[in-house]
Amino acid sequence: MNSRTLDKQTLLSVIIPVFNEEEVLPRLFGVVDKVIASLPVRVEVVLVNDGSRDGSLERMLEKKAGDSHYRVIDLARNFGHQQAVSAGLSLARGDVVAILDADLQDPPELLGPMLDRWHHGVDVVYGQRGKREGESAFKRATAYVFYRLLNWAASAEIPPDTGDFRLMDRKVVDALNAMPERQRFLRGMIAWLGYRQEPILYDRQARQAGITKYPLKKMVALSMDALFSFSMKPLRWMALAGVGMTLIGVLLVAVLVVVRLRYPHIFVPGLATTWVALLVLFGFNFLCLGILGEYVGRTFVNVQGRPGFLIREVYAQAEPDSEHPGGFPEGRAS
């Protein structure tokens, strides 16, 4: 175990995924610089460019050129938020590692208090949201339902109202990097890991500039990853529903036989009933096939074993480093 001292012996890596955040970057750098100056530890800021199509990469490289705290990882294309953070995690060198959104919705000022908790033995300090400002009622409502549904279904206890804003000990990061799964719902994976985890409460501010990079489509994809990667329960629901329907069917046959024998005069074949039953059962069948497909598809993607992200270029400082004299260690693209 490392010593968890709060001095210049300790290196903190701050990972920031960036996708088209040109407008907010200057403000981000301003705030982060101030926070870095106030921290007792050494800091490296790992900016991950997730295939931005605006001037984000240029802004980041300019910053890196003038400030030795900053490093830039440029991914080959847009791989999505969770993969961008995973790329950062695989290359971060800190004894302790934090994840931060670029849009300042996660206050960097909390890094100090988070470090304190780590110093006192907590392995994962995760931000838990109290108020959420500047987010639509729709986003808040879906998030509320989603976290509760997930916890009901999931096999790991995933704390509600948390994003990826957190600070982790090196051993947690190593464990995470060793998990090869392609669908990376990081907050769930980290919850699954165990160790000593504690929340730190904060009010989520509104995005400081630019628009959300999580449109509904990406939110749905993330939710599906969360549900289907962390729970086998939907499969069980299918089986249970199947059993239930079979029972109803058997009962219905018995009833029909009795009616046919006892009251042949009222036995009229019901066309409407047949159609309704047909449509409902077929609909249900396809739903079940769809659920099955989610698991089969995820298995397929994992069996393919393609890397989750590819790195185009790492812009690191030439600054010598005791552990990795050549700058960054080779990144594992997983």
Report the site for ligand UDP in 258-277 (rule: CB under 6 A): none
The DSSP bridge partners found for residue 311 are 75
Whole-number CA gyration radius for the chain? 25
Residue 169 in the binding site for Mg ion (CB under 5 A): no
For Mg ion, give the closer residue by CB, 219 or 311: 219
Residues 6 or more apart whose Cβ sits within 8 Å of residue 308? 79, 83, 86, 182, 184, 333, 334
DSSP code of residue 135: -
CB–CB of 161/126 below 8 Å?
A: no
For Mg ion, give the closer residue by CB, 50 or 95: 50
| Separation between Cα atoms, residue 87 and residue 119, nearest integer Å | 26
Smallest gap from Cβ 162 to ligand UDP, in A, equals 12
For ligand UDP, give the closer residue by CB, 95 or 101: 101
Smallest gap from Cβ 127 to Mg ion, in A, equals 12
Out of 13, 52, 90, 105, which residue is the one contacting Mg ion (CB under 5 A)? 105
CB–CB of 201/113 below 8 Å?
A: no
Q: How far is CA 40 from CA 6, 76, 110, 222, 225, in A?
A: 6, 35, 14, 36, 38
CB–CB of 12/39 below 8 Å?
A: yes
Residue 162 in the binding site for Mg ion (CB under 5 A): no
Smallest gap from Cβ 92 to ligand UDP, in A, equals 15
Residue 103 in the binding site for Mg ion (CB under 5 A): yes
Stretch that binds Mg ion, among 156-164, 204-212, 218-226, 230-238 (CB under 5 A): 204-212
102's contact among ligand UDP, Mg ion, none, with CB below 5 to 8 A by partner kind, is: ligand UDP
For Mg ion, give the closer residue by CB, 146 or 295: 146
Q: Helical H runs in the chain?
A: 25-38, 56-66, 81-91, 111-119, 137-153, 170-177, 186-193, 216-230, 233-262, 271-304
Report the site for ligand UDP in 81-100 (rule: CB under 6 A): 81, 84
Out of 146, 214, 237, 295, which residue is the one contacting ligand UDP (CB under 6 A)? 214
Residue 185 in the binding site for ligand UDP (CB under 6 A): no
What string of DSSP letters covers 74-94? EESS---HHHHHHHHHHH---
Closest by CA position to 215, among listed 142, 119, 305: 142
For ligand UDP, give the closer residue by CB, 165 or 230: 165
| Separation between Cα atoms, residue 28 and residue 235, nearest integer Å | 44
Smallest gap from Cβ 135 to Mg ion, in A, equals 9
* Residue that is written with structure tokens 């509104």 in the block: 206
Stretch that binds Mg ion, among 30-38, 102-110, 140-148, 186-194 (CB under 5 A): 102-110
| Separation between Cα atoms, residue 38 and residue 161, nearest integer Å | 28
Smallest gap from Cβ 231 to ligand UDP, in A, equals 22
DSSP code of residue 3: -
Report the site for ligand UDP in 14-43 (rule: CB under 6 A): 17-19, 21
Residue 101 in the binding site for ligand UDP (CB under 6 A): yes
For ligand UDP, give the closer residue by CB, 61 or 291: 61
Smallest gap from Cβ 21 to ligand UDP, in A, equals 5
Give the binding site for ligand UDP (CB under 6 A). Answer: 17-19, 21, 50, 78, 80-81, 84, 101-103, 105, 207, 212-214
Give the binding site for Mg ion (CB under 5 A). Answer: 101, 103, 105, 207
